[in-house]
Structure 1
Amino acid sequence: MEMLLKEENAMLQKINNYLDSQKENALKSLEEIVNIDSFSYDKDGVNRVGAVIRQQLENAGIPYEIRENEEFGNHIIAVIKGKKQGKILLMGHQDTPHPPGTTLQRPFKVEGNLLRGPGVSDMKSGLISMIHTAIALQRFANEEMCDIELLFTPEEELGSPISRNIIVERAKDALAVFNLEAARPDGSIVTSRKGSAHMKIEIEGRASHSGAFIEDGISANDELAIKMTKIKQLMDLDKGTTVNFGKIEGGISNNVVSPYAFATIHSSFWSEKDFNELYQQINKVVETPYITGTKSKLTGGIGILPMEKHEGVSKLFKIVQKAAEGLHLNITEQQTKGAADAGFTASLGVPTICGMGPVGGNWHALDEYMVLDTFIPRMKLLAASILLFVKESKL
């Protein structure tokens, strides 16, 4: 046992030394992809980020598959074959919520111990971390490893409408999943996340002249106003279930009774159960005609599933904590309101940890940042966590 521990320590030291040696290369790669606009709807921009990723994979001799998409950028799936059974999935998204031209206004820059730029921690630093950690494990721990799969998705910022199925496909047979979203500003990782849903209410009324024949009209706008008031009252902040009306539109002209109206709704929630209860209540309001003659329908539903903390998540968190102790890091856990792809994998019952990337904050804002001196340490933490997971799983 003592000899085994010595061998493990020597292997980890080689991994850590290698990652230390790659700091400048990693920073150059991060600067390169941060300075590429990759708005979710900018297919070419996302694919330019993907081109950098593919080049790094090719340089390391890591095989990959490209899945092209009509509307969005490509999916990239890379696999490092290990000597043991099973696989561990690492995930990250290539897109940002920032429109083309953003990087010209505020390109990548270093401010002391902070890195700035659109998407620097959400989550382009996570992408670079995935690649460098996987390469280190390939070089120095292949005999001890199961397969490692890297999945790069193109449209997470939109709720992963096409990636959801691919994530489920790649995760359903995984032993564990590490999502490389940024660590929270206090350094904690994420073991629970809210889910999100997008819905739309559409209402039909009947047009008429609002001065001469208002009594002949049926106002879709009025019906929508009543429904919106009732639906907003369903929000329960104590449970963390939110209701927000995003876009509202209706009517034709100021002197015409509105024949059509619609509103979009966004909701966030901690559990599927909470959302299902909310949905039933919303649907009851939608199905009730408060103004005689109106017809209404509700469409949409859950976009990203909540990451609910189950036994597998708890066990994986303990492994990450144990790995952190060996690196003299204090890692805590946190639940966070923002939805992420980790919800899809956790919902399968697969042990999942989110927020394994470098520490960052102010995501989507002008002053988004990544903490520079966490870049390499979080790679080391990921590598050590994977190795410890494989060891304790006795593969």
Structure 2
Amino acid sequence: MFNLDNYQALFKEIDRDKDSIIQTLIAYSEINTGSYNLDGINTFTNRLKNDFACLQADKLETHKLSPFSTINAQHEIVENPLGSALSIQKRTKLNNTVLLSAHLDTVFSKESSFQKTQWLDPQTLNGPGVADIKGGIVIILWALKYFERLETCNSIGWEVLFNPDEEIGSPGSSSLIKEKAAKHQLGLVFEPCLENGSLVSNRKGSLNFSILCEGLAAHAGRHFNEGINAIE
């Protein structure tokens, strides 16, 4: 039976590491990783490779994603490049494995004025991606550090998957996520909880549409007969 009393020493370690954990979050937050900032995403990926190295993973892979297509105002198809996904794996050949997932990108572009963290009060840190989802990435990193110290760690394998395009609908990584998820018995996504602390177990999906309408512009009052309705 699971007994929290057996982990009191570990909880004390977590308390002692609090400042280091917070400093990690601040450093991550202040690396701009807007979905289209490929240089920033690459910088953050390299930082994560270094930080996760202490876990002595069996395999580290980067997955180059194909560009995704959009249509601009001139009705031209534009190919948009994406950053690469990052996979870190350990003991994944065991029967019991878990997928830990988060995304590298945030909604704040490199042109945004919101680039730095600040303390709103002694308990509240404000910054780009602090909650969604760089705080989740910090939890993954430090949770695995503590997990790997337990005797039971050798009975469970894990894979961490970071995708670079979640905030724009995961157009390049959705198939990779599905492929990875099918290989594991459990999947955990480290998005923030609700304001009251409740965990989110499921949610609605989303779709992006590009609708192309062609017509002929004309004055709606005087020369409407010269126009062609684009959506009729």
> What TM-score do you get using the length of structure 2 for normalisation?
0.81
Measured in 2, the distance between the counterparts of 1:158 and 1:31 equals 24
Is 1:182 matched up with 2:177? no
What are the residue-to-residue correspondences of 1:336-347 with 2, within 5 Å?
none
Aligned partner (choices 28, 31, 38) of residue 36 of structure 1: 31
Measured on the aligned residues, the alpha-carbon RMSD in Å equals 2.7
CA contact (8 A) 2:55 2:144 kept: no
Residue in 1 that maps onto 2:117: 108
State the distance in 1 between where 2:212 and 2:93 align.
Answer: 55
Q: CA deviation at 1:211?
A: 9.3
- Kindly indicate whether residue 16 of structure 2 is the aligned counterpart of residue 21 of structure 1: yes
The residue aligned with 2:83 is: 73
Counterpart residue identity of residue 43, structure 2: R
For the pair 1:134 / 2:130, whether they are aligned, the reply is no
**AA in 2 matched with 1:108:** T
Letter in 2 for 1:98: F
Number of corresponding residues: 216
**Residue 87 to residue 106, structure 1, CA distance change in 2 (3 Å):** same
Shift of 1:52: 1.5
The structure 2 residue matched to 1:51, chosen from 46, 49, 53, is 46
* 8 Å CA contact 2:96, 2:155 repeated in 1: no
**AA partner of residue 39 (structure 2):** D
Contact between 1:83 and 1:146, CA under 8 Å: does it hold in 2? no
Q: CA deviation at 1:140?
A: 1.3
Q: What SS does the aligned partner of 1:38 have?
A: coil
1:347-390 CA-partner distances (Å, limit 9, x unpaired): xxxxxxxxxxxxxxxxxxxxxxxxxxxxxxxxxxxxxxxxxxxx
Query: 2:93 and 2:173 mapped to 1: Cα distance?
Result: 29
Matched, 1:160 2:155: no
Name the residue aligned to 2:60.
Answer: 64
Summarize the alignment of residues 214-229 of structure 1 with structure 2, pairs less than 5 Å apart. Answer: 215-220=225-230, 223=231
Tell me, yes or no, if the aligned pair for 2:165 and 2:173 is still in contact at 8 Å. yes
Q: Which amino acid aligns with 1:164?
A: S
Q: Provide the residue aligned with 1:121 in structure 2.
A: 131
Once the two structures are TM-superposed, the CA of residue 219 in structure 1 deviates from its matched residue by 2.6
Deviations 1:238-285 (A, max 9, x none): xxxxxxxxxxxxxxxxxxxxxxxxxxxxxxxxxxxxxxxxxxxxxxxx
Structure 1's unaligned 5+ residue stretches are 224-289, 291-395
Match for residue 215 of structure 2? 205
Provide closer, same or farther for how the CA distance between residues 66 and 17 of structure 1 changes in structure 2, counting only shifts above 3 A: farther
Task: Please state which structure has a larger fraction of its residues in helix.
Answer: 1
Map Cα deviations across residues 37-87 of structure 1 (whole Å, 9 max, x no partner): 110010111121112211111133224211234622221111122795131
Question: Identity of paired residues, percent?
Answer: 26
1:100 shift after superposition: 0.7
Q: What SS does the corresponding residue of 1:148 show, helix, strand or coil?
A: strand
Q: Deviations over 1:182-241 (max 9, x none)?
A: 111110000221111222332333567989975354232xx3xxxxxxxxxxxxxxxxxx
Q: Check whether the contact 1:64–1:79 (CA below 8 A) recurs between aligned residues.
A: yes
The runs of 5 or more residues in structure 2 that have no matched partner are 67-80
TM-score, length-normalised on structure 1? 0.50
Deviation track 1:125-174 (CA, whole Å, cap 9, x = no partner) reads: 10010111112112214455321111111010001011101100100121
Once the two structures are superposed, what CA deviation does each residue of 1:1-41 show, in whole Å capped at 9, x if it has no partner?
xxx767x853x334433333332221111111101111001
The structure with the larger Rg is 1
Contact 2:101 2:188 in 1 (8 A): yes
Distance 1:5 1:193, change over 3 A: closer
Instruction: Give the one of 194, 198, 201 matched to 2:204.
Output: 194
User: Residues 192 and 69 of structure 1: is their aligned pair in 2 closer, same or farther, counting only changes over 3 Å?
Assistant: closer
